[in-house]
Structure 1
Amino acid sequence: MQERGAVRDSNPGTHRQRASLGVIVLTVFLDLLAFGMVIPLMPLYADAFRASGLAIGWLLAIYSLMQFLFAPIWGRLSDRIGRKPVLLIGLWGSAAAHLIYGLAGSVTVLLLARALAGVAGANISVAHAYVADITKPEDRAKGMGLLGAALGMGFVVGPALGGVLSQFGLQTTPLVAAALAGINAIMAMVILKESRVPTAAPYKPYVHPLAVATWQHAVKGVGVALLVLVALLSMTAFSAFETVLPLFGKAHLGWSMTTVGWFFAYVGILIVLVQGGLIRRLIPRLGESRTASVGLALTALGLLWMASLPGVVGLYLVMIPLALGVGMTNPSLSALVSLNSAQAEQGVALGFYQSASSLGRVLGPLLGGGVYQYAHGAGGALTAAAGIMLLAVLLFLGVAVPRLSVRRALRQSAAH
């Protein structure tokens, strides 16, 4: 008899495991594709409804804020009832959010649609838990890398497709995104297999992510808590860079928003190449901890280089170590969180990891924009981002790594 709360079919050599991994990667790609399609239209909708600068800021921030609040909820719920039902809730929620967005007649409705999209999109942590269920510990980072590549491709292709569809009317893009999300949900209902037997353990009520009791329950190992903090710092630094780049490009290089968009696509493609291919070769040679260490260091060096405000050629060159660092860091950190968490806590632990990343996407723009406006411009903002990334490097190498137990987790997996 199979133990309740156990994963189903975690042998990476089986056809079913490969098929399940392919399905979840496709599901995540289509979900992020639909989400990315509406991003370029946000300023257009805001202009159409004569939104204030504060309202535009909330349109950008509320999605990540909802992810921060709800990622642990979905993760814990998936530990109890299984991954597939929670993934389907998120996919249908995304379809509804895009539909509301397309039919919105006011800024208030737009905010509600974005909030719903953030709640639904918070279940990306469940997709990570699904990958953790169906992969062996030594293959965990490879699976996380494929998931990261799917996320990156969705962000790269989605805005481009949304821009093309916007030529047929402002409502066309979000309505097509809603249809795409709905089709994705139906495909997941039919094709996606459950990766985890639901547990009979009593459901524990949700507590705010910042509450000490929640951290004590979900992040029982000190190493995992430190990994979550490293994720928060690294995402804050990278999000600050994303905020400052358009300002720097416009002020110092005379870039249009179209040029900025193509540059972000270039960065996204570099990250996808790393997470979808290179990470498979690096992890077996370096291991998760060393790969994350190198990735964090490269990201910090890239931000320091960019703080010197290079010209166009230099800017394209600096993106190589920066994108390489980000592409190495994210799959390695998420794999380490999974490897150092109890099997019954995979969903909620990865939920906290995603929640920290979402909080970083809220704090980063505030840091980057604030330093840019009130301190020392792009150079000062990028230097501050590099300083935060260096702090993440020191925290990871000096404090987190000695407390991780990846080797023990691998031995336990081999014993089973």
Structure 2
Amino acid sequence: MSATDEEIFAASEEPKQGDIAVAGQWKLFRLKFLKHKPAVISLFVIGFLYLMAAFANFIAPFDPNDTNARFTYAPPQALSLFHDGAFMPHVNALDMELNREAMRREFTPNPDKPLRIGFLVPSEPYDLLGFIPMETKLFGLVDPGPGDSMYLLGADRLGRDMLSRVIIGAQVSLSIGLVGVVISLALGLAIGGVSGFFGGKIDLVVQRFIEFLRSIPTIPLWMGLAAAIPVAWPPLRVYFVITIIVSLLAWTSLAREVRGKFLSLRNEDFVIAARLDGMSEFGIIFHHLIPSVVSHIIATLTLAIPVMILAETALSFLGIGLQPPAISWGVLLQEARNIRAVSQAPWLLFAPAGAIVIAVLSFNFLGDGLRDAADPYGSES
């Protein structure tokens, strides 16, 4: 074997324990994170969810507000890939009959009428990302006729496609977590950093204030603040106000985390050296302390996002958050408040609730992986 081949072979080997001991902070972070398989899988799931939210108008097969009185509470249609031995993605058409005894519609799949599904099908005009005019959807029915329908996740009480509504709802439910995290990051770093670095009376006052906020029951406080929003406000303004509301208490946990880290680092040699070199106190905070805890902050924020998603969901479900015509996963769950509707159409509960469970679990697994990676010399999990 030549020297070049030996070098390539050596470079392809996994890092040895001695290499890890002298690796840099971010290399240690990456190596420890990649060993956490659920976190790596969750990272791809979250990436897919945000990609879906960004291109929701292109991915959703129908306009989420299009109604069809003929298919109210239509059940999910099974997707089939083959027909008569040939590859042809399709769903079977639904035949509707009125059950006069139960006073409800009953739908039966008609295997003799397959409805072919294609990719990049024509659609009504819409704006992708808010400014790109489009007349094409990722997938949909090919040459649909009168009365043809495709409800992969069923339809609601107005005959609106639940799949399209869940995809569009991801835009609000997932973005509200990110926007809330930005607000929490600013408040948590500023207040927690000052409290931990300066200590003394400043730390005492800040910690008592944080304890006061954390002692207030969360749901009643959110309900009280959300109830103060004027009913006449447009959905976009309500969205930003709800984002601020769910962020009001989320910053306290991060502030506590940052305070603890700053307390343990403020008397380290590199901080004392920077102070003797003439660097200002705030310069030490921004140039030395914050970079030293950034990996831990990332892990903490990742765990805070699902809390904010659930907060928006709870407020909207209770009817004091976002309201129709705004679409979010919490708004979709409002349909599940009616037991009769859920008994007849359980997909009204399972479709948005399933999306919430997947998103929240993925963020929690990712946060666990990032938290372990932030302590690369800790015990193996």
Between Structure 1 and Structure 2, which shows a larger proportion of strand residues?
2
- Largest Rg, 1 or 2: 2
TM range (shorter): under 0.3
TM-score normalized with structure 1 length: 0.26
Between Structure 1 and Structure 2, which shows a larger proportion of helix residues?
1
